[in-house]
Structure 1
Amino acid sequence: MDYSRRRKELLALVNQLRAVGAQSELDLPRITIIGNQSAGKSSVVEAISGINLPRDAGTCTRCPIECRLTSASGPWRCNIKIRKEYDSRGRRLDEIREVPFGSTILDKADVEPALRRAQFAVLNAQIDKETILTTSLDKLEELAATGKSLSFSRNVVCVDLEGPELTDLSFIDLPGIIQNAPDDKTISLVEELALFHTKGNCLILVAIPMTDDIENQKALRLARQVDPEGERTIGVMTKPDMIGPGSKKALDLWLEVIEGRRHPLLHGYYCTRQPDDEQRNKQISSAEARSLEGSFFRNTPPWATSLHTQRFGTANLTSALSRLLIDIINRSLPDIKKEAAKQLTSCRGDLSSLPELIEEEPVTYILNEVIAFCVEFDQFIKGGSGERAQLIQDHRRAYEVLKRKVRRTVPRFVPFTKDEDNFMADDPLDGEEEAEGNTSSEELGSLNLTDMRRHIKKSITRELPNNVPFEAKVALINDFQQTWRTASIDECFERVMVSTVGLLTDLVNRRFERHSLLRNDVHELMLKLVEKHYGRCLMFLEAALEAEETPFTQNTHYLQTTTDKWLSKYKSLRAERNQSTAVPKPSSDANPASSQAEPVSAKPSAAPQAQEPKPEAVNELLSLLAKCGYTGVTVEDLGKLKPADEYETELQVMAEVRGYFQVAYKRIIDNVPNFIDLRFLKALGKDMQRFLITELGLGTASANEKCAQYLVEDPLMVARRAELKARVKRLESVQRELNNLRL
């Protein structure tokens, strides 16, 4: 492929990328022309492009003008477009495109007024395009003077030029740098515009008037801010004809600059001479202007004697700019392609992380979401593995705490009188040790035999002798039951409720996260439903507790077994105490000192031996009784031959109440969790779907309107999705253009 064709393709590619807004995503190669006001910048632009720009005080360049030149064998023509990249508040638009402004121009004389209209359209976006195209320029100037027009804009006027005398080149002409203005805001805006367009992968062409000291060039100072090493900056010196032959010192200084001996730049400096006002008024052609320029540099010292002839004239400048731009594009394309692919992948990922746009009917969508929410909660109710086990595990922990707290209400009966030593050890429940924090009988209060006798006596009214009133036992039972609700059951139910509400809140937030209004309403409805079933379940728990106030059980075998067990234990403790405190007789051993009695133990003996009958003797006694006709006698029956304990009645009451505790304890620690699970948790799950559908009004005539309001998205989410979609579309377009070009 020849160089000329390759150059056209590369420039066409970059121009197309800019047309779709790729410059907002990628650092596209470009040439930007900057200069102070009245620095001759517009004359340089006119010389390169071959068209005239607006020059009146009120119509000079007030927005970026992108000139795209294409060498063509056909007749000269011009098309003007407007690329709107920013809204009225200066925010970058999501979708960028170029809109044609007017028809194709075939006469160069028509370009300047067309540019006036295009720039007016950019500065007055509130006026429609057709009005601007059909209104006279004088009338437009009057409208601009009303103060409603912007002073400057970031949006771009694009000028596509084709013709046989043009060089393949594109560049951006920026408004002139202002030295003085009525307000600093205008100065800052123009300077920010220059800094923005000259950063990155940009060749900076700075117009430098030779009528001013190079050190005073503000545009050159701005270029140094973004290109401190001078690797991207090209100086174009203007107005050489304004320096008289007598200003030899100034001429020598400028010659040293152009020949690279002062203020050097990597790409150096060029010098052009443009038509003066008289020649412009004569409307000389571009060819005539270039001929006069060539004659000036050939015949005017010190330029005529310089060996750097390639640095003089617009043609040399244009050729160099075209070559440098193509070189940059060639070098940058592989990186641009990689960066475009990287950003496209990133944008697609960001877009996929956002909720998709809802296309279903609002009622259908919300109904499906409500059903899915209820199904998800039901899965937690059923339990399972992983996250779904969380709720039931929380509830089981609450029930374990309930079990321990009810267990700690066990009545602490001491089978000794007030005056007898207290040898009562820890009181495990049916062989079960406390899981944590055993509570002593002193902390919970205890009842000894003296207390029990007094309690029974106070309860006697019309009973016959040796009859214990049933009310005496009921009172003792009610004593250990009275703290079950406040200290155990209410706390357990509260923990279950808090755990359930916490899960529901998480599920609501996850399911309805993107719709804040719907999320808030569903959350409030969930709290309302929880409160409803909490109250209903509480009634069942209260009924269960009320039923416990009247002692009853059909589990008579277990009651009798535990009663007998505790009666035996209490009697054993008393027997052990009597054995431990008994004083042994003096020994008949010849050495009395060696047979002194053991000291009295302060604790019950684990295996008392002083009175323990020998197994051989017991078996012999049972055999003798059998021979005498007393068959079926057991070792336990022999114990009945011992004299009755004077506190037999009190021990029996203690054993019965203690045995009944175990019956009631085991019943309540099962019934409470069962009621909570059935009448609260499962009832909540069963009622939820119907409740939400009813309360959200999904079956009413106004459901569609109400649901549509629910689905109004967060404006930030809408803006973010639109931005990402626009970026994906833009980058896909960029990628297509890049793929169409062979790198």
Structure 2
Amino acid sequence: MDPKPNELSGSQYALRRKELLSLLKQLRATGSQGELDLPRITVIGNQSAGKSSVVEAISGITVPRDAGTCTRCPMECRLSSSTNRWTCQISIRREYDASGSLLDKVSETPFGHVIIDKNNVELALRRAQVAVLNPDLDPSDILRASADDLTKAPFVSSQSLAFSRDIICVDLEGPELTDLAFIDLPGLIQNAEPRTIKLVEDMVVSHIKGNCLILVALPMTDDIENQKALRLARQEDPDGRRTIGVMTKPDMLTAGSTKARDIWLDIIEGRRHPLVHGYYCTRQPDDAQRAAEITPSEAREAEANFFSSTHPWSTSAHKERFGTVHLVATLSRLLVGIINDTLPRILAEAASKLETCSRELATLPEELRGDPATHMLKLLTTFCDDVQRSTSTGSDASQLIHRNRDAYASFKSAIRKTAPNFIPAVLYDLDGNPSGQHEEAAETSLGVDDLTKAKPFFLNNMRDHIKQSVTRELPNNVPFSAKADLIMQFQEGWHAAIAVCFTAVRQQVEAMLEQRVKDTFYRYDHLEGHIRIFIAEIVQKHFDACSSILLPVLKFETTPYTQNTHYLAESHAKWLGIYKEARSSSRSSQPAHKKRKVDQGQSQAIRASQSKPPSPAPTGFVSGSNGFSRKRPATDDEHPEGESERDLQIKEALAALSALGYHGVKPEDLARLVPPDEYETELQMMAEVRGYFQIAYKRIIDNVPSMIDYMFVKAVAEDMQSFLISKFALGTADATERCSAFLADNPMVVIKRKELSARKDRLEEVKHALHTFGLS
């Protein structure tokens, strides 16, 4: 004999069952099912499969079922046995927004007052469904509407949803109820728009996944192979471990449907389409009995009489498979078992997800609190302090300073390459006449400065230049303008070199500022854009200011001037020695195959043949104090120790001069002993201009970087804070309002923070509920 509900309620098992179902209700009410796979029973079936009858039989209430009416949203029924009188409370749980996304905060809102008369439940459910399908309507208007009103505007309109995923919750309590909870889904439809068919199907599939007992309503008037609901259940539960079949409408089989009865009997007794939990067969009141307002107890008695008197059900050995009472008892037992078994896993899953959620929240910037203008000032101060550190000394500035040094080094190299390329030789053509045209071969063999990229300038070029510059001067007087013109010539490329250097430094400063902007303002898109505009403005401002100073500095250099006369004299003497030595030492070293000849103080071209292989002329100098460019290749007369005969002769000469009391004489000084050269004036001119280049070169490669560093790099950093404070008008009356707009978080950050915060709240509620229940 089956235990009665009130007997179960008094048992220890019933108490545990009630506690578990109460916990499940609490978890679902907070929307935890969006985060965790909570245990549940879901009732599905094709439209007109008798699903509503099963729901009525289990819950004891009447649901809307007249022609043209169907379930258009999920209904969650929560039954609780009690010794108190029967009551019903309908609530609406909105879980999704208009776009179908899960709401941040899920809660259940009571819809209407507590119902104590079962006859009022059907109309209340109709009203609740209208409220779910029309979320913009005032609930109080819906609660006052009659059944007839609910079929008209504004309760039915083009704005009404066809279906909704939000849930109608029905809490039933009474002495004839068994503790149980289940979700009734809209029936699967066939004759509708493809979009609507798919919407309902997707809703069903989403509910029957995971930790769910699937209760499938199977009308016995149709072939089981035609049941779409059963196919979806098999799709999600291929092993049949979570599916329970409930056969409906056995009284609709005609007397002649013997084969159909046999097939269904085989299914009930497990010989066809087996399921782990098997199938149950129920018989619900027909239309006439419902019209006569048959009571639940009378309906169960009529059901028992039907199965005990109707073949072949009356002769089946599986009596426990027939009747709603057996179905309800099994569902209650299975649901409680699943809840009890999965609670520890749910707690662990909730704890893990809560930890992950907290970590993700920690990566997001905190929500702005306090006065926006104060926060803006703090941000600007932090940014400007970082910029100051990046442009001063210390580890923070190392990257920018190193890159600027590279730009300054390139600038130095570019200026050095503009040095006059004076060649202490006369270039002759094939007829032995001085030629103004230079040849690469001559430049290579006679050049004394490998670093310069300037056009070669020979002695005959210098003579022509002086001649063209002479006006009223006395003989043997070189006009100052001749020197000034040559000086201006090597300065022609300096403007471009300065521009390249300054642009490179500006790019490095801009790159540093961009990184600091990202580091400080990354969370404020609107503010970040304005900061970039303001920074571009201040950078341009100081770039223009520094450029306006660099231009005069460059103009100053066009007028030769120095007070460093000592260094100028040394440089002039040094280069005069280098030029004379190069001219003297190359007299006997010109190749015989030259197409053009270079005269080294002779009045005629070098003869076309020589008796032994030539040695190349020097092409530069080794150090600032040595006029010799490099040693000539060794000959057959090479000294055993590797010194050439000329080197030994020079040493002997220096030793002899020292013995005579002429101390401190250097190899390059010997060039002064060379007899006067017919191009002595030109050589002196070359040495003087080249010597002055050293003065101007050293001056410009120090002054330009210093000015750029002081008037641009440091000026931008020092002016940044006051400039930005002025731009954002901090301290004015509307500063707070304006800063509030600038400090609005990135919309994606706001959405992410809101979503994570909502998830964290839900998970914390789950964890608290489980701990309160006794799990830890």
**CA–CA separation in structure 2 for the residues paired with 1:87 and 1:616:** 103
* DSSP-derived class of the 2:44 partner: strand
Gaps of 5+ in 1: 430-437, 584-595
Counterpart among 551, 564, 576 of residue 560 in structure 2: 551
TM-score when normalising by structure 1: 0.90
Flag the 1:52–1:540 CA change in 2: closer, same or farther, 3 A: same
Deviates more, 1:699-708 or 1:89-98: 699-708
Match of 2:279 in 1: 269
Q: Percent identity?
A: 53
Give the residue type in structure 1 aligned to 2:478.
V
RMSD: 2.8
Q: Deviations over 1:22-56 (max 9, x none)?
A: 11111111110011222211111111111111222
- Cα deviation for residue 446 of structure 1 reads 1.3
Match of 1:498 in 2: 507
- Cα deviation for residue 511 of structure 1 reads 2.4
Flag the 1:418–1:310 CA change in 2: closer, same or farther, 3 A: same
- Cα deviation for residue 689 of structure 1 reads 1.5
Match of 1:435 in 2: none
Match of 1:25 in 2: 35
Flag the 1:425–1:345 CA change in 2: closer, same or farther, 3 A: farther
Give the residue type in structure 2 aligned to 1:644.
P
Match of 2:320 in 1: 310
Counterpart among 678, 685, 688 of residue 646 in structure 1: 678
Match of 2:208 in 1: 198
Q: Between Structure 1 and Structure 2, how many residues are aligned?
A: 713
Match of 2:727 in 1: 695
- Cα deviation for residue 467 of structure 1 reads 2.2
**CA–CA separation in structure 2 for the residues paired with 1:264 and 1:728:** 42
Q: Deviations over 1:133-175 (max 9, x none)?
A: 2333332332334444323211101111122222111100111
Counterpart among 531, 542, 560 of residue 522 in structure 1: 531
Match of 1:741 in 2: 773
Q: Deviations over 1:287-326 (max 9, x none)?
A: 2221221122122211111111111111110111111112
Flag the 1:325–1:447 CA change in 2: closer, same or farther, 3 A: same
**CA–CA separation in structure 2 for the residues paired with 1:120 and 1:453:** 108
Q: Deviations over 1:208-249 (max 9, x none)?
A: 111222222222222222223322211100111222343222
Counterpart among 615, 619, 630 of residue 601 in structure 1: 615
Gaps of 5+ in 2: 1-10, 429-433, 435-440, 593-609, 619-630, 633-642
Give the residue type in structure 2 aligned to 1:155.
D
State whether structure 2 residue 33 is matched by structure 1 residue 47.
Answer: no
Contact 2:347 2:767 in 1 (8 A): yes
Match of 1:535 in 2: 544
* DSSP-derived class of the 1:357 partner: coil
State whether structure 2 residue 420 is matched by structure 1 residue 406.
Answer: no
Match of 1:172 in 2: 183
- Cα deviation for residue 426 of structure 1 reads 8.1
**CA–CA separation in structure 2 for the residues paired with 1:638 and 1:62:** 113
Deviates more, 1:220-229 or 1:61-70: 220-229
Match of 2:714 in 1: 682
Match of 1:721 in 2: 753
Deviates more, 1:518-527 or 1:609-618: 609-618
Match of 1:224 in 2: 234
Flag the 1:344–1:612 CA change in 2: closer, same or farther, 3 A: closer
* DSSP-derived class of the 2:418 partner: coil
Flag the 1:107–1:574 CA change in 2: closer, same or farther, 3 A: same
Contact 2:79 2:177 in 1 (8 A): yes
**CA–CA separation in structure 2 for the residues paired with 1:138 and 1:581:** 121
State whether structure 2 residue 184 is matched by structure 1 residue 152.
Answer: no
Contact 1:355 1:514 in 2 (8 A): yes
Q: Deviations over 1:607-649 (max 9, x none)?
A: 77479758778767776x77xxxx9896889876653223222
Contact 1:65 1:158 in 2 (8 A): yes
**CA–CA separation in structure 1 for the residues paired with 2:270 and 2:284:** 23
Match of 1:384 in 2: 394
Contact 1:203 1:232 in 2 (8 A): yes
- Cα deviation for residue 21 of structure 1 reads 0.3
- Cα deviation for residue 347 of structure 1 reads 1.8
Contact 1:122 1:155 in 2 (8 A): yes
Contact 2:462 2:682 in 1 (8 A): yes
Contact 1:383 1:391 in 2 (8 A): no
**CA–CA separation in structure 1 for the residues paired with 2:666 and 2:100:** 104
**CA–CA separation in structure 1 for the residues paired with 2:318 and 2:377:** 80
Deviates more, 1:611-620 or 1:335-344: 611-620
Q: Deviations over 1:434-493 (max 9, x none)?
A: xxxx66x6x52111222222222222223223222222211111111111112x111111
- Cα deviation for residue 582 of structure 1 reads 14
* DSSP-derived class of the 2:106 partner: coil
- Cα deviation for residue 383 of structure 1 reads 4.5
Question: Equivalent residues in 2 for 1:308-387 (5 A)?
Answer: 308-385=318-395
Contact 2:446 2:617 in 1 (8 A): no
Flag the 1:620–1:175 CA change in 2: closer, same or farther, 3 A: closer
Flag the 1:93–1:458 CA change in 2: closer, same or farther, 3 A: same
Contact 1:579 1:610 in 2 (8 A): no
Contact 1:579 1:611 in 2 (8 A): no
Contact 1:66 1:172 in 2 (8 A): yes
* DSSP-derived class of the 1:97 partner: strand
**CA–CA separation in structure 2 for the residues paired with 1:633 and 1:158:** 111
Q: Deviations over 1:332-352 (max 9, x none)?
A: 223222221222222222222
Match of 1:135 in 2: 145
TM-score when normalising by structure 2: 0.86
* DSSP-derived class of the 2:169 partner: strand
Match of 1:434 in 2: none
* DSSP-derived class of the 1:32 partner: strand
Contact 2:372 2:743 in 1 (8 A): yes
**CA–CA separation in structure 2 for the residues paired with 1:300 and 1:313:** 13
**CA–CA separation in structure 2 for the residues paired with 1:633 and 1:29:** 104
Flag the 1:236–1:730 CA change in 2: closer, same or farther, 3 A: same
Q: Deviations over 1:566-603 (max 9, x none)?
A: 111122222322465799xxxxxxxxxxxx97554343
Flag the 1:568–1:608 CA change in 2: closer, same or farther, 3 A: farther
**CA–CA separation in structure 2 for the residues paired with 1:56 and 1:614:** 127
Flag the 1:613–1:717 CA change in 2: closer, same or farther, 3 A: closer
Flag the 1:152–1:580 CA change in 2: closer, same or farther, 3 A: closer
Flag the 1:622–1:532 CA change in 2: closer, same or farther, 3 A: closer
Flag the 1:454–1:195 CA change in 2: closer, same or farther, 3 A: same
Give the residue type in structure 2 aligned to 1:142.
K
Flag the 1:581–1:266 CA change in 2: closer, same or farther, 3 A: closer
Counterpart among 73, 77, 82 of residue 67 in structure 1: 77
Flag the 1:578–1:376 CA change in 2: closer, same or farther, 3 A: same
Flag the 1:302–1:639 CA change in 2: closer, same or farther, 3 A: closer
Counterpart among 669, 692, 697 of residue 701 in structure 2: 669
Deviates more, 1:476-485 or 1:371-380: 371-380
State whether structure 2 residue 758 is matched by structure 1 residue 732.
Answer: no
Question: Equivalent residues in 2 for 1:610-625 (5 A)?
Answer: none
* DSSP-derived class of the 1:301 partner: coil
Contact 2:43 2:182 in 1 (8 A): yes
Q: Deviations over 1:94-115 (max 9, x none)?
A: 1111111122222322222222
Flag the 1:6–1:621 CA change in 2: closer, same or farther, 3 A: closer
* DSSP-derived class of the 1:235 partner: strand
* DSSP-derived class of the 1:84 partner: strand
